[in-house]
Amino acid sequence: MYRKTDWNFSRYEEAVFARPCDPETVMYAALDFCIAIVGLRDWTKKALVRKMRQDGSALPASLAMLDDFAGFVTSRVHWQPAIEAIANTAKHAEYRDTGWEKGIASPASFFPDYLRAEHEACADGLQLFAFMHKYRQVTWWDLSLRQHGDQNATPGYEALGGALDQWGSLLAELGYPAE
């Protein structure tokens, strides 16, 4: 499942860095990645239970009870609650932010500094789309993650890539190298 999740991230990464950048491809790849991460969490828990039953292994010292697995993951994968909220909202066709209350995930446009004034002059979404189309060889779309009321957002590429790296470390800690 880690390799599948890594593959999903590669598709997302290619979409973010494609020029011209297609916002639909970026967003669909981000959704696929988030759903894959939730699957990875579920498969990892099942593998851990199976390992314990088959060879009598104990839980890792840092995991007090198996019922704490979700919290255990969240303590090691910073963006896990946001990723799960995005995945669950997409999968269940209704807004679900459990664990990431007041979180906001939205499309975001990125551009070189020399275009800042023109970007900021866009009065609405139509002007922004026209701007992005005009400069499609140097601008790109991504996901943006932040908390309601916070003006500072984290680009999706940074959040999702960090989550993938943290999952690799977590799997190694559990004895499942992500190779």
Give the per-residue pLDDT at 179. 66
Residue % of the chain over a pLDDT of 70: 99
| Helix ranges (DSSP H) in the chain | 2-17, 23-55, 69-76, 80-92, 116-120, 125-134, 156-173
In whole angstroms, what is the distance from residue 103 CA to residue 144 CA?
10
- For the residues 25-43, what does the mean pLDDT come to? 96
Return the pLDDT at 93.
83
> Which region among 2-6, 32-36, 80-84, 99-103 has the lowest average model confidence (pLDDT)?
99-103
Residue 177: pLDDT band (50, 70, 90) is confident
Q: How confident is the model at residue 101 (pLDDT cuts 50, 70, 90)?
A: very high
Domain ranges of the chain: 2-101+155-173
**Does the pLDDT of residue 109 top 70, yes or no?**
yes
Q: What is the pLDDT of residue 128?
A: 92
SS (H, E, C) 13-27: HHHHHCCCCCHHHHH
